[in-house]
Amino acid sequence: MDKRKIGVLTSGGDAPGMNAAIRCAVRVGCDLGMEIYGIERGYEGLLEGAIFPMDRNSVADILHKGGTMLGTARSERFKTEEGLDRAAEILDTFGIDALIVIGGDGSLTGARELSERGITVMGIPGTIDNDLGFTDVTVGFDTAVTTCLEAISKIRDTSSAHNRVFVIEVMGRDCGDIALYSGLAGGAETVLIPELPYDVNEICKNIIQSSNRGKQHHIIIKSEGVGISSMELAEEIERKTGRETRVVVLSYLQRGGTPTSTDRLAATLMAEKAVKLLAEGSDSKAIGMVHGEIVAFDIEEALTIKRETVKTIYDLIGVLAK
Ligand code: F6P
Tell me whether residue 129 is one of the annotated catalytic residues: yes
162 band by pLDDT with thresholds 50, 70 and 90: very high
Q: Angle at Cα 220 formed by Cα 217 and Cα 223, nearest 5°?
A: 160
Look over the chain and give the mean of its residue pLDDT values, rounded to a whole number.
96
The CB density around residue 108, as the number of other CB atoms within 10 Å, is 26
Q: What is the pLDDT of residue 3?
A: 65
114 band by pLDDT with thresholds 50, 70 and 90: very high
Catalytic residue (choose from 14, 105, 129, 263): 129
Q: Which atom of ligand 1 is nearest to the CA of 225?
A: 8
Q: What is the pLDDT of residue 2?
A: 62
Q: Summarize the confidence of residues 109-121 as an average pLDDT.
A: 96
129 close to ligand 1 (CB < 6 Angstrom): yes
Summarised one tens digit per residue, pLDDT across range 182-237 is: 999 999 999 999 999 999 999 999 999 999 998 999 999 999 999 999 999 999 99
State the burial class of residue 123 (Cβ atoms within 10 Å of its Cβ: 0-12, 13-18, 19+). Answer: buried
For a ligand 1 pocket test, name from 173, 230, 253 the mutation site with the most ligand atoms within 8 angstroms of its C-beta: 173
For a ligand 1 pocket test, name from 105, 129, 224, 252 the mutation site with the most ligand atoms within 8 angstroms of its C-beta: 129
**Quick one: how far is CA 206 from the chain centroid?**
31
The answer to whether 8 touches 26, Cβ cutoff 8 Å, is yes
Summarised one tens digit per residue, pLDDT across range 135-149 is: 999 999 999 999 999
Is 80 exceeded by the pLDDT of residue 24?
yes
The CB density around residue 133, as the number of other CB atoms within 10 Å, is 14
Q: What is the pLDDT of residue 318?
A: 93
Please state the pTM of the whole predicted model. Answer: 0.96
The CB density around residue 132, as the number of other CB atoms within 10 Å, is 24
Q: What is the pLDDT of residue 322?
A: 86
Q: What is the pLDDT of residue 76?
A: 93
Summarised one tens digit per residue, pLDDT across range 46-82 is: 999 999 999 999 999 999 999 999 999 999 999 999 9
| Neighbouring C-alpha atoms within 13 Å toward the C-beta of 48 | 12
State the burial class of residue 292 (Cβ atoms within 10 Å of its Cβ: 0-12, 13-18, 19+). Answer: exposed
Q: Report percent pLDDT > 90 for the chain.
A: 96
308 band by pLDDT with thresholds 50, 70 and 90: confident
Q: What is the pLDDT of residue 310?
A: 82
Q: What is the pLDDT of residue 209?
A: 93
Residue identifier of the C-alpha nearest atom 13 of ligand 1:
13
Is 60 exceeded by the pLDDT of residue 34?
yes
| Neighbouring C-alpha atoms within 13 Å toward the C-beta of 3 | 26
